[in-house]
């Protein structure tokens, strides 16, 4: 089935927050932000004369609690006194036109007392500025392990952050209702908006209705950070009793919002024969100025610290460090990629030291069924070897060409790298693994489907429509996926953790089953037995049949309930944070990629050439959507690995806060060849219709892009070992080859 949004996207008919028809009297707002990375507000001059000014709202105008922290209450909606990062919201300017709102913002002056900022996570750690507590996962016997190794190396990895760069910036449109508020928000987490808005206003949650049609991209950037934007719009509506729109322009979005977490890490790895015998890793996460989702991201880093490898002796330690940068947040992979990058660096390092191909060390140490991850869960249904062999088979020729090329070229070199991925599927916070749905069958047989899933381009609405209409044996035109709305699907987890279609699809099917049972009972009274729903009909074992339309209209007249609520919660998962052991994931998504690239070693220019992927998507549910997620995820990851360079100056000002200074992938950057194959595997019982989660895992294939460029560089000149920095921009290639 094709993505149901495709046509409206390419014809410009898809509606985003900024496209909504505006109600007369709508007001426009912009956010006034901190001019310093660390300081105290001395005064705000808001004595402004402007014909279009409606109001300027500060912390004092918040009727409820000025607190938006989800995991830890450490973040104000509007700064009351202390300023913790350049770009932190201080006030909301509400005006009759958007242009006037910007003009008024420029007229406000904020006096601040500056304080010393900290930007480096290790420095923050030394000063005791940490968020939550230090975490450590352990496996085996780290005391004796090192003695048993033949070779040991140590090194350091610096990993940069990444902008989400959703095409639709953060935004919300808030409306006053008779007894509360409705907000249309570009959020991955409607319930989070509802909960925090209620807290800000001092109201019960039922007074706030959140509605989401779709997002122009989220990537994690709207899991938590759409919430304050929606809350500011609602606060302005609360004060003015008028509809208020708050849609950030790109510069404000880049300035105000958090990004993927940069990490600094130390590793030590030991080999015994061809096996990785011991691994010790320390992660310093740069959380920015508030907790946001950082503790959960940190945890996922630890869960992925050994990626796809079985290592019998492991110590993985991590800490979240508070710095004066925007609060970093969820981003596709959610800390997992950073965990994987460090073990891949350690493997690259020790392989180069031993003079063997990194791919040999990777291949010799792939995890297998029954092997234990450092967090206690055992690997199951592992398909890594199959995927590896497929990729190896498909790339024999490509690798030979690389060797020939390197033998005949001096200043241009080619490189390649493999990347196996093992990504845990489930929110690591067990209680979040739940979803609800509401399925309504109307008298004419058409079906309205509501779930907690938010469509953000990933195609979740397509998948849900596909499984629901298939369930009743109907063509897709019978179903319609409604907006995600907190009055129809309640207490939703954000659309995140690659789990949206598993959780919400299963909740929708649960509702469908209830309706089917009622229809079956109704039909059995009319002499139908063992009914199947197929080709638009209900068919009895003895061949009696009734069209769907007839059935529904008869069932309605017989007063059968044609609406059902559905619910799903992932079985079997648990995690004990005291012991740091458990079974946090329903299952893992596996796969292997090989990426090749060419580096012009005179000029320092890289180009990714080929991507070969062999992916375990369980029993394929929709290969169109899966391929879209794989190709998009890899290109997004390659941008992080090779292009996207976040630069904050020594005042903490984002110097890469525009699209002229922050380079993202474009079509020319995309790999020349992209081959995706899916493994033939048995149905995955814990996935939707036997499939596997697809949203985040493929991004991590892109880590091979970084190592393929390093491999090419190493063919020109041996790089310093034990020193890995991401992104490998063209400037960095040049510096590493010649500095
Ligand atoms: N969000 C979250 C996530 O709250 N918990 C998770 O475990 C997670 N994992 C991936 C992406 N978002
Ligand atoms: Mo996410 S990083 O699954 O919002």
* Alpha carbons 528 and 358: distance in angstroms, whole number: 63
- The whole-number average pLDDT for the span 275-298 is 98
Q: How far apart are CA 336 and CA 703, in angstroms?
A: 12
From the CA of 332, give the closest atom in ligand 2.
Answer: 2
**In the predicted model, what is the mean pLDDT of residues 458-469?**
98
CA distances to 136, 141, 576 from 276, in Å: 20, 14, 27
Ligand nearest to the CA of 222: 2
- Rounded CA separation 579/576 (Å): 6
Tens digit of pLDDT for each residue in 131-153? 999 999 999 999 999 999 999 99
SS3 for 372? strand
pLDDT band at 534 (very low <50, low <70, confident <90, very high): very high
In this structure, what DSSP letter does residue 242 have? S
Contact at 8 Å (CB) between 376 and 585?
A: no
With a 6 Å cutoff on the Cβ, whether 427 touches ligand 1 is yes
Residue 46 has pLDDT above 90, yes or no: no
Question: Is 113 annotated as catalytic?
Answer: no
Averaged pLDDT for residues 534-558: 97
- What SS3 string covers 661-725? CCCCCCCCCCCCEEEEEECCCCCCCCCHHHECCCCCHHHHHHHHHHHHHHHHHHHHCCCCCCEEE
- H/E segment holding residue 277: strand 275-288
Backbone dihedral region of 203: left (phi > 0), alpha (psi from -120 to 50 degrees) or beta? beta
Q: Which of 334, 339, 499, 501 to mutate to test the pocket of ligand 2 (most atoms within 8 A of CB)?
A: 334
Asked if pLDDT for residue 284 goes beyond 90, the answer is yes
Decide: 419 in ligand 1 pocket, CB within 6 A.
no
In ligand 2, the atom with minimum distance to the C-alpha of 222 is: 4
Q: Residues 429-456: pLDDT tens digits?
A: 999 999 999 999 999 999 999 999 999 9
- Between helix 703-716 and helix 730-738 the angle, nearest 10°, is 30
Q: How confident is the model at residue 47 (pLDDT cuts 50, 70, 90)?
A: confident
Roughly how many angstroms between the first and final C-alpha of the chain, as a whole number? 53
How far apart are the CA of 188 and the centre of ligand 2, in A?
A: 9
Judged on CB neighbours under 10 Å (0-12, 13-18, 19+), 407 is exposed
The pLDDT, as a whole number, for residue 674 is 98
369-398 pLDDT per residue, tens: 999 999 999 999 999 999 999 999 999 999
Mean pLDDT, residues 46-67 taken together: 96
How crowded is the C-beta side of 520, counted as CA atoms within 13 Å? Answer: 13
Closest ligand 2 atom to the C-alpha of 498?
3
Take atom 10 of ligand 1 and give the residue whose Cα is closest.
497
Q: What is the spatial distance between Cα 234 and Cα 182, in angstroms, rounded to a whole number?
A: 8
Q: Is 291 helix (H, G, I), strand (E, B) or coil?
A: coil
Distance CA 625, CA 615 (A): 13
For residue 602, the cross-strand partners are: none
- Active-site hit among 344, 609, 644, 696: 696
Whose alpha carbon is nearest atom 4 of ligand 1?
427
In this prediction, residue 694 carries a pLDDT of: 98
3-state secondary structure of 309: strand
For 192-251, write each residue's pLDDT tens digit.
999 999 999 999 999 999 999 999 999 999 999 999 999 999 999 999 999 999 999 999
Residue 497 CB less than 6 A away from ligand 1: yes
Cα 369 from chain centre: 27
The count of other CB atoms within 10 Å of the CB of residue 351 is 18
Q: Give the pairing of strands 244-247 and 171-177.
A: antiparallel
Indicate whether residue 302 lines ligand 1 (CB < 6 A).
no
Q: Whose CA is nearest to atom 3 of ligand 1?
A: 497
Q: Is the pLDDT of residue 262 over 90?
A: yes
DSSP state of 517: H
Q: What is the DSSP string of 409-431?
A: -SSEEEEEEEEEEEEEES-SSGG
Kindly report, residue by residue over 557-610, the tens digit of the pLDDT: 999 999 999 999 999 999 999 999 999 999 999 999 999 999 999 999 999 999
Question: What is the residue with the minimal CA distance to atom 4 of ligand 2?
Answer: 220
Query: Distances from the Cα of 73 to the Cαs of 76, 196, 291, 328, in angstroms?
Result: 8, 11, 8, 15
Distance CA 699, CA 290 (A): 26
Q: How far is the CA of 300 from the centre of ligand 1 (A)?
A: 8
Answer yes or no: are the C-beta atoms of 87 and 656 closer than 8 Å.
no
Give residue 497 CA to ligand 2 midpoint distance, Å: 5
pLDDT tier for residue 739 given thresholds of 50, 70 and 90: confident
Of 427, 494, 573, 575, best ligand 1 pocket probe by most atoms within 8 Å of the beta carbon: 427
Closest CA to 263 of 342, 330, 154, 325: 342
pLDDT at site 387: 98
3-state secondary structure of 326: coil
What is the band of 6 on the pLDDT scale with cuts at 50, 70, 90?
very high
DSSP state of 286: E
pLDDT at 73 over 90: yes
Cα–Cα distance for residue pair 727/259, rounded to 1 Å: 15
- Ligand 2 center from residue 703 Cα (angstroms): 18
Return the structure tokens found at 724: 């890995």
- In this prediction the pTM is 0.97
**Contact indicator for 393, 675 with CB cutoff of 8 Å:** no
Nearest atom (ligand 2) to Cα of 499: 3
Among protein residues, the one whose CA lies closest to atom 9 of ligand 1 = 497
**Average pLDDT of the residues of the chain:** 97
Q: Which of 204, 261, 262, 199 minimizes the C-alpha distance to 228?
A: 199
Pocket test for ligand 2, best of 221, 330, 504, 633 (most atoms within 8 A of CB): 330
**Which residues are CB-contacts of 557 (< 8 A; sequence separation ≥ 6)?**
none
Nearest C-alpha neighbor of 504 from the set 490, 517, 515, 525: 490
Domains and CATH numbers, the chain: 6-116+164-256 (3.30.365.10), 263-428+577-738 (3.30.365.10), 434-569 (3.30.365.10)
Task: Return the closest-CA partner of residue 638 out of 162, 215, 166.
Answer: 162
Whose C-alpha lies nearest to ligand 1, atom 6? 427
Which atom number of ligand 1 is nearest to the Cα of residue 296?
Answer: 5
Task: Kindly report the length of the chain.
Answer: 739
Which ligand is the nearest neighbour of the Cα of 221?
2
Ligand 1 atom at minimal distance to the Cα of residue 220: 12
CA distance 306 to 424: 12
The rounded distance, in Å, linking the Cα atoms of 333 and 290 is 20
Segment 334-357, tens digit of pLDDT: 999 999 999 999 999 999 999 999
Q: Which ligand is nearest to the CA of 429?
A: 1
Ligand 1 mean position to 335 CA, how many Å? 9
Three-state DSSP class for residue 656: coil
Q: Is the dihedral of CA 106, 108, 112, 117 positive or negative?
A: negative
Q: Is 11 exposed, middle or buried, given 0-12, 13-18 or 19+ CB atoms closer than 10 A?
A: exposed
pLDDT (0 to 100) of residue 335: 98
278 by DSSP, 3-state: which?
strand
Distance (angstroms) between ligand 2 centre and the Cα of 297 equals: 10
In the sheet with 313-322, reading across from the earlier edge strand, the strands are 130-139, 313-322, 275-288, 263-272, 151-159, 723-726
């Amino acid at each position: 089935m094709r993505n149901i949004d495709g046509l409206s996207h390419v014809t410009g008919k898809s509606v985003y927050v900024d496209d909504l028809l505006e109600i007369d009297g709508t007001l426009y707002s912009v956010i006034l932000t901190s001019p310093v990375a660390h300081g105290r507000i001395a005064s705000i001059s808001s004595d402004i004369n402007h014909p279009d000014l409606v109001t300027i709202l500060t912390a004092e105008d918040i009727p409820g609690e000025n607190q938006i922290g989800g995991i830890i209450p450490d973040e104000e909606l509007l700064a009351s006194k202390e300023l913790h990062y350049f770009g932190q919201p201080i006030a909301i300017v509400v005006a009759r036109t958007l242009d006037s709102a910007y003009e008024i913002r420029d007229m406000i002056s904020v006096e601040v007392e500056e304080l010393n900022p900290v930007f480096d996570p290790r420095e923050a750690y030394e000063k005791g500025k940490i968020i939550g507590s230090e975490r450590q996962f352990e496996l085996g016997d780290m005391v004796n392990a090192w003695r048993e190794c033949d070779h040991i190396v140590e090194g350091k990895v610096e990993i940069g952050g990444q902008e989400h760069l959703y095409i639709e910036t953060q935004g919300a449109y808030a409306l006053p209702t008779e007894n509360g508020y409705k907000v249309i928000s570009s959020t991955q987490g409607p319930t989070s908006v509802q909960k925090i808005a209620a807290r800000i206003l001092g109201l019960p949650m039922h007074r706030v209705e959140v509605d989401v049609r779709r997002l122009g991209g989220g990537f994690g950037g709207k899991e938590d950070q759409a919430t304050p934007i929606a809350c500011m719009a609602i606060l302005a509506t609360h004060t003015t009793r008028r509809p208020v729109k708050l849609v950030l322009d790109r510069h404000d979005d880049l300035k105000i919002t958090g990004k993927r977490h940069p990490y600094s890490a130390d590793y030590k790895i030991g080999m015994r024969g061809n096996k990785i015998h011991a691994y010790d890793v320390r992660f310093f996460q740069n959380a920015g100025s508030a907790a946001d989702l950082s503790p959960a991201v940190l945890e996922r880093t630890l869960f992925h610290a050994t990626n796809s490898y079985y290592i019998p002796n492991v110590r993985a330690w991590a800490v979240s460090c508070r710095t004066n940068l925007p609060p970093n947040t969820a981003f596709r992979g959610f800390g997992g990629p950073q965990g994987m990058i460090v073990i891949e660096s350690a493997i690259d390092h020790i392989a180069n030291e031993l003079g063997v191909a990194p791919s040999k060390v990777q291949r010799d140490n792939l995890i297998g069924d029954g092997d234990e991850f450092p967090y206690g869960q055992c690997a199951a249904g592992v398909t890594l070897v199959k995927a590896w062999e497929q990729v190896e088979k498909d790339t024999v020729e490509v690798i030979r060409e690389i060797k020939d090329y390197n033998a005949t070229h001096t200043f241009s070199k080619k490189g390649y790298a493999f990347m196996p991925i093992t990504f845990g599927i489930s929110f690591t916070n067990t209680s979040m693994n739940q979803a609800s749905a509401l399925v309504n069958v109307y008298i004419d047989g058409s079906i309205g489907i509501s779930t907690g899933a938010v469509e953000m381009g990933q195609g979740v609405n397509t998948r849900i429509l596909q499984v629901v209409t298939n369930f009743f044996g109907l063509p897709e035109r019978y179903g319609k996926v409604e907006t995600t709305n907190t009055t129809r699907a309640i207490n939703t987890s954000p659309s995140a953790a690659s789990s949206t279609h598993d959780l919400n699809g299963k909740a929708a099917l649960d509702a469908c089953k209830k309706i089917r049972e009622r229809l079956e009972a109704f039909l059995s009274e009319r002499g139908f037995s063992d009914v199947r729903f197929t080709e638009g009909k209900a068919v009895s074992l003895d061949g009696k049949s009734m069209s769907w339309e007839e059935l529904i209209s008869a069932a309605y007249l017989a007063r059968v309930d044609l609406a059902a609520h559905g619910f799903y919660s992932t079985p079997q998962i648990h995690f004990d944070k005291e012991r740091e052991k458990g079974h946090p994931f329903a299952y893992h998504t596996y796969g292997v990629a090989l990426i090749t690239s060419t580096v012009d070693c005179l000029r320092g220019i890289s180009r990714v050439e080929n991507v070969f992927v062999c992916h375990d998507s369980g029993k394929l549910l929709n290969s169109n959507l899966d391929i879209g997620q794989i190709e998009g995820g890899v290109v997004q990851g390659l941008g992080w690995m090779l292009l996207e360079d976040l630069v904050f100056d020594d005042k903490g000002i984002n110097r890469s806060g525009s699209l002229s200074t922050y380079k993202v992938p474009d079509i020319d950057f995309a790999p020349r060849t992209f081959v995706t194959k899916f493994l033939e595997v048995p149905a995955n019982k814990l996935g939707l219709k036997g499939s596997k989660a697809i949203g985040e895992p493929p991004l991590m294939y892109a880590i091979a892009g970084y190592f393929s460029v390093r491999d090419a560089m190493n063919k020109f000149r041996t790089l310093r070992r034990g020193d890995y920095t991401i992104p490998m921009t063209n400037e960095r290639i040049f510096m590493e080859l010649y500095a």
